[in-house]
Chain A
């Protein structure tokens, strides 16, 4: 069957951890769009949900940092962070090791991704799941793209990763959903936390909505760093979703800068 659903969302920990400090109207509108995407995700009846995330030193460190890694376990746990700090209770989340193993084996023919049979989800996965699958009842297959510890994978490679993932998914009988999670411009966990380059974000989203591979992969990391901060490196997750949905129309459900959440909060769907 293959890919039946795709989208992208923000994952900033402030979305749940500092919820009470946001403008209520903006926060509630963001939440409603998260829930809308979640309802549509459920309606697509996925057998598994692949979350392409950019983790933040929860499982991977510079002693052995994979550019790409896929989880291959029957269950995961999260959040790894303090539950009160994130505002999400710790839970066990079902995985699908057999399906993940098949996808990895298929992708290895063209992509040297790593795998992990143990993985603790940080906010990069937990914030999206908290809204999209609040019952944690869809088996999750996590994917990490290293966006924190340079050298980082080239953007064109992230796009091609998505294409390889799509081919692997489409060779399977299962119904598979893909969600990419990351920031666009942001400077999280710095003195500049809350700074957001809305113009840059909107220009990026325009290219993303058009699945314009040339535009999406044209940024250098130097440009991204200057215009979008170190958090901007997470565009790799959005670009991977573009690779997995080449030729498909995308729709922006929500974009608003919410400074206390430290990111331009985004919810978008790709019509696969």
Chain B
């Protein structure tokens, strides 16, 4: 289990066209190169954006993966709020919520 490698994979997907091609062609082969546990693999594959948020994935990385997977901005915000309701508080990282309501 490694938040570091979850974030590293998503960082590469966000910035590297070659990684994105591999995501499109054979995502499992790409995922196999990272030290990820079953919960992490599930959250990335689904994708479960709320669970990734609760795991502690930095929002500056996660928002682009959400967009890659077709989430509009409001859907991304909702997915994180749903994640808090379903999975509990953010477990690690800088992106813990304060009140979860925002202003939008």
**A148 & B102 in contact (Cβ 8 Å cutoff):** no
Structural contact, A189 and B97, CB atoms closer than 8 A:
no
Main secondary structure of the interface of B (DSSP, over half): helix
- A190 and B104 form a contact (CB under 8 A): no
A193 and B95 form a contact (CB under 8 A): no
List residues of chain A with CB within 8 A of the CB of B99.
192, 195
Does B94 make an interface contact (CB < 8 A)? yes
Chain B 10-41 per-residue mask, 1 if CB under 8 angstroms from chain A, else 0: 01001100000000000000000000000000
Q: What residues on B are CB-neighbors of A190 within 8 Å? A: 53, 59, 80, 95, 97, 102
Question: Are the CB atoms of B102 and A85 closer together than 8 Å?
Answer: no
Q: Determine the distance from Cα of A58 to Cα of B95 in the docked complex, in whole angstroms.
A: 18
With A57-B14, A82-B67 as contacts: A193 and B58 at CB distance below 8 Å: no
Question: Nearest Cβ in chain A — how far from B31, in angstroms?
Answer: 18
How near does chain B come to A261, taking the closest CB pair, in angstroms? 10
A81 and B102 contacting across the interface, CB-CB below 8 Å: no
Check if B11 sits within 8 Å of A57, measured CB to CB.
yes
Given contacts A80-B15, A81-B64, A191-B80, contact A259 B103 (CB under 8 A): yes
Which chain B residues border A194 with CB–CB below 8 Å? 102-104
Q: How far is the CB of B87 from the nearest CB of chain A, in Å?
A: 13
Residues A188 and B60 in contact, CB atoms below 8 Å apart = yes
Question: What CA separation (Å) do A238 and B60 show in the bound complex?
Answer: 20
When C-beta atoms are compared, the residue in chain A nearest to B104 turns out to be: A194
Total contacting residues, chain B, CB less than 8 A: 30
Query: What size tier do the contact residues of chain A reach?
Result: 20 to 34
Closest Cβ–Cβ distance, residue A20 to chain B (whole Å) = 12
- B60: A residues at CB distance < 8 A: 56-57, 148, 188-189
- CB neighbours (8 Å) of A120 from chain B are 15
Please classify the interface of chain A as helix (H, G, I), strand (E, B), loop, or mixed, using the class held by over half of its residues: loop
A149 cross-chain contacts in B, Cβ below 8 A: 58
**Quick check: A187 and B102 within 8 Å, CB to CB?**
yes
Q: Which of chain B's residues have a CB closer than 8 A to the CB of A148?
A: 58, 60, 94
Provide the residues of chain B in CB contact with A196, threshold 8 Å. Answer: 103
| Closest CB in chain B relative to A96 CB, distance in Å | 24
A18 to B58 CA separation, bound complex (whole angstroms): 21
By a CB distance below 8 angstroms, the chain A residues around B14 are 57-58, 80-81
- 17 interchain pairs (CB within 8 A)? A80-B14, A80-B15, A82-B67, A85-B67, A149-B58, A189-B59, A189-B63, A190-B59, A191-B81, A191-B102, A192-B97, A192-B100, A193-B102, A195-B99, A230-B95, A259-B102, A262-B104
User: Interface of B with A (CB < 8 Å)?
Assistant: 4, 7-8, 11, 14-15, 53, 58-64, 67, 73, 77, 80-81, 84, 94-95, 97-104
